[in-house]
Structure 1
Amino acid sequence: MVALPGATFGMGSDRFYAEEAPRRQVRVDAFRIDRFPVTNRQFARFVAETGHVTIAETVPDPADYPGMLPEMAFAGSGVFQPTSTPVDTNDPSLWWHFTAGADWRRPLGTDSSLDGLEDHPVVHVSYADAQAYAAWAGKTLPTEAEWEYAARGGLDDADYAWGDTLAPDGAMLANYWQGLFPFANQLLDGWARTSPVGIYPPNGFGLYDMIGNVWEWTADWYGVRGGAKGKPARSCCAPAEANPRGGTRAASFDPLEPEIRIGRKVLKGGSHLCAANYCQRYRPAARHPQPIDSSTSHIGFRCVSRG
């Protein structure tokens, strides 16, 4: 782990997506954070010692999902599959597929394995799975503010974790999608899916893979930050807020699916599927709401400790 001192920093961004605004001053207390995302090797040890069964390995209860088709009641997880041609990027169902048998051991489904992926980030972990690992390790999950402070690496006002240019002099500094998502990946970084942790340069705090590779769970419930009519709830010049936390579970429900009462936590960091034409969330300020019961082939986590 890397020890980070308490500090005040500029959290959020007014330059990209609305949910990141407003940029404001935040203070976090000192904490320690994992240098790398949790790997398959580490998660395997946790499972071997505890017998933990992930949500992806559990058959869902149709009673928890109103309108769920009975034939969808099988254990599995969301797996990305590229399309063969350009598609409407407003319809994620064209590239996301709930795949039977997909879980942390078999990231692409029943015919896949972890062979050669031992040092890649673990994926197909829900929020509860990440929490269980953190508790076993004597740690916890970071708040959104802690995560973003760590990801910035001391570059308080930069768009990216390394500066204001995505690929300075053509250098690939994180695992993200180069080309037109979801059908044409130029693979300039050499990876179509996850990559081993630690192969890209660390940020200014000595932390690896804070950007790209896999999204990472945080402990905060997702909440919209803007005020009425899109005006910021807090300005950048307001006094620094100390150790902020997210919204409430009830406020985090997906308004597009009001009948499903599943809370959503904040994901940070983007993944290997973020692209310039679709999801420019390979930045410290970027954030995404994820239902706590959901897992996919591009979501992982890392832990923190305090005190």
Structure 2
Amino acid sequence: MYYLKWILVGALAGAVACAESPGSTDQAAAQAAAPGPGMVWIETPGGGFWMDATEVTTGEFATFIAATSYLTEADSFGWSGVFSTEQQAWLPVEGANWQYPLGPDQPMALPEQPVTQVSLKDARAYASWAGKRLPTEAEWMLAATQGGQHTDFPWGEEMLPGGKYLGNWWQGPFPFADEVLDGFPGIARVKQFPAAANGLYDMAGNVWEWTATERAATAENVIKGGSFLCSTSYCTGFNLQQKQYTAKDSGLNHLGFRCVAG
């Protein structure tokens, strides 16, 4: 069985908590070469890789834009898709982009929120700039399931252990009424729920995440993890067994990403 150990990069260089296999000098060297702060080491029998502990935030994406003057596909198109809870439908909204994911007449995204309205090309551009890449579906699942220990959720097999919500999704009949039992009527800032055992946050709920895995028949890519718009009456995307396929140029205000390295 796959198994998983984790390291969270500390604030000081070299200050890491490490769980190693005895005598694995190659593994130790790989772990010492952390590509940056805020990443978790995901171990596999053949080695391992690093994964961002959280989805890439709007603040992090803003740093990338400032450094590169990159133009996202939503900015290039002049519009992107936004789900309207009033009209209960996806609508093309002019001016919707990573800064204003609901449109220019709505509040700006907070720096601590997962960045959304990013296409596959946009996510890959950020990852390349950061010296990282997007995870494959298999890598994403290995990390989310704690090395195959859990089938349905990062924390175990119960959706609500002890009656507690451990992720951000829609409670109630979608799209008619959100009971907000998890405390968030829409997107949440990262790290608002406890981390999984391996140190990863929000692998279930909040925003869907791009993967590098393509469905060749339709030229779409797999997205994983579900979002704040998923519910038990609709897509249950926050269950790890669920996935969707999305066009590569999609933005959408419930779709983001996280990166891996190694």
Give secondary structure in 1 for the equivalent of 2:210.
strand
The residue number in structure 1 matching 2:97 is 103
**Which of residues 154, 158, 163 in structure 1 aligns to 2:151?**
158
Which AA in structure 2 matches 1:98? P
8 Å contact from structure 1 (residues 155, 162) kept in 2: no
Give the letter for the 2:85 counterpart: P
Which residue is 1:245 aligned to? none
Task: Give me the whole-angstrom Cα distance separating, in 1, the residues matched to 2:44 and 2:156.
Answer: 22
What residue in structure 1 maps to residue 71 of structure 2?
53
**For residue 40 of structure 1, what is the aligned residue in structure 2?**
58
Which residue is 1:289 aligned to?
245
CA contact (8 A) 2:118 2:256 kept: yes
Q: What residue identity is the alignment partner of 2:81?
A: G
Partner of 2:256: 300
Name the residue aligned to 1:194: 187
* CA–CA separation in structure 1 for the residues paired with 2:65 and 2:140: 25
Q: Secondary structure at the match of 1:96?
A: strand
Q: CA shift at 1:143, angstroms? A: 0.5
Is the 1:181–1:278 contact (alpha carbons within 8 Å) kept by the matching residues of 2? yes
* 2:6 counterpart of 1:3: no
CA distance in 2, matches of 1:303, 1:265: 15
Task: Give the aligned length.
Answer: 224
Aligned to 2:81: 78
Equivalent residue, structure 2, for 1:120:
113
Q: How much does 1:29 deviate?
A: 4.5
TM-score using structure 1 length: 0.70
Say whether residues 1:220 and 2:213 are aligned partners. Answer: yes
Contact 1:43–1:133 (Cα < 8 Å) also in 2:
yes
Percent identity, aligned pairs only, is: 44
Q: Which has the higher contact order (CA 8 A, sep 6+)?
A: 1
One-letter amino acid matched to 1:80: F
SS class of match (1:286):
coil
CA contact (8 A) 2:195 2:202 kept: yes
Task: Read off the aligned partner of 2:200 and give its amino acid letter.
Answer: L
Structure 2 residue aligned with 1:225 = none
Q: Secondary structure at the match of 1:58?
A: helix
Question: Which residue in the other structure is 1:17 paired with?
Answer: none
Which residue in the other structure is 2:177 paired with? 184
Alignment RMSD, CA only?
A: 1.4
Deviation readout 1:273-304 (Å, 9 max, x if unpaired): 11010111212222110000111000000000
Q: Distance in 2 between matches of 1:169 and 1:217?
A: 31
Q: Is the 8 A contact 1:79 1:297 kept in 2?
A: yes
- In the TM superposition, what whole-angstrom CA distance separates every residue of 1:10-67 from its partner, at most 9, and x where no partner exists? xxxxxxxxxxxxxxxxxx75110001100000000000000011000113xxxxxxxx
Distance 1:213 1:158 in 2: 19
Alignment-mate amino acid for residue 212 of structure 2:
A
Maintained 8 Å contact 2:142/2:148: no
Q: In the alignment, residue 193 of structure 2 is paired with which amino acid?
A: Y
**Structure 1: runs of 5 or more not aligned:** 8-27, 60-74, 85-93, 223-247, 254-262
Partners of 1:83 and 1:178 in 2: CA distance: 17
1:116-150, Cα deviation, whole Å (9 max, x unpaired): x1100000000000000000000000000000111
1:227 corresponds to which residue?
none
Report what 1:31 is aligned to: 49
> Structure 1 runs of 4+ off > 6 angstroms?
none
Structure 2: segments with no counterpart, 5+ residues: 1-38
1:225-264 correspondence runs (5 A): 248=216, 251=217, 253=218, 263-264=219-220
